[in-house]
Amino acid sequence: MKAFLLAAGKGKRLLPYTLNNPKPLVKVGGISLIERNIIKLKEADVNEIVINVHHFGEKIINLLGDGSRHGLKISYSIEEKLLGTGGGIQNAIDKFDDPFIALSADTWTDYDFTSLKLNKEYLAHMVLIKNTSQNLNGDVYLNDGLIGEEGSHEKYTFSGVSILSPDLFIHSQFEELELWNDILRPAALEGLVSGEIYQGTFENLNTLEDVERLDGSLSEE
């Protein structure tokens, strides 16, 4: 199975670290966020990962290389300009023939990627979490296992973790697109996107204080 790691963003909220570094290289528990996700994906039988890079992308490439150190294949999609969460994947979609896992490289979660499945009648499956202080109003509803913009229960936040069919990506390359608004939402309106609510740990590392807090809690375990 293949996966796509979104690693091109500038990580402005993690200044001053990101003045000279990409956010996915922040270390928590002695390991960079991106390497932790690569290890977890490898444990989920992912054997090939595509990573988009832009902001200090050469540092990510120099650290990870071709992936052989982690026992899988890594290739890169280099963005001359930022293409957004959807455009970044669209720009590299030729590398995927079958459904693939997608997530932000700076995600920190205990979610088990082996549980990600996509039923053949759907084009995507999204992992949702309880709303955070950064997104109190949520993003979407989950109605009988399907993602929607309307519902009778509470809204949830899209964690950024999903499994996607290449058939979702019908736009031209080099467009700036957002994954939810431009790619997933049209499919969800047609009833083609399933979802689940994850109750485990999903850390939003939006500040250096967040990183220090998580790092400290892990060192105490």
Write out the residue range of the structural domain in which residue 67 sits: 2-219
At 76, the amino acid letter reads Y
Query: Is residue 221 predicted with pLDDT exceeding 70?
Result: no
Phi, psi of 18 (to 5 degrees): -80, 5
Phi, psi of 150 (to 5 degrees): -130, 150
pLDDT attached to residue 136: 80
Q: What CA–CA distance (Å, rounded) separates 143 from 159? A: 17
Span 166-201, pLDDT tens digits: 999 988 777 899 999 999 999 999 999 999 999 999
Please answer whether residues 142 and 199 qualify as being in contact, where contact means their C-beta atoms are separated by less than 8 angstroms. Answer: no
CA 89 to chain centre: 10
Residue 135: count of CB within 10 angstroms of its CB = 15
Query: Is residue 219 predicted with pLDDT exceeding 90?
Result: no
Q: Using 50, 70 and 90 to split pLDDT, how confident is the model at 23? A: very high
Domains in the chain, number: 1
Q: Which CATH number goes with the domain that contains 197?
A: 3.90.550.10
Query: Is residue 138 predicted with pLDDT exceeding 90?
Result: no
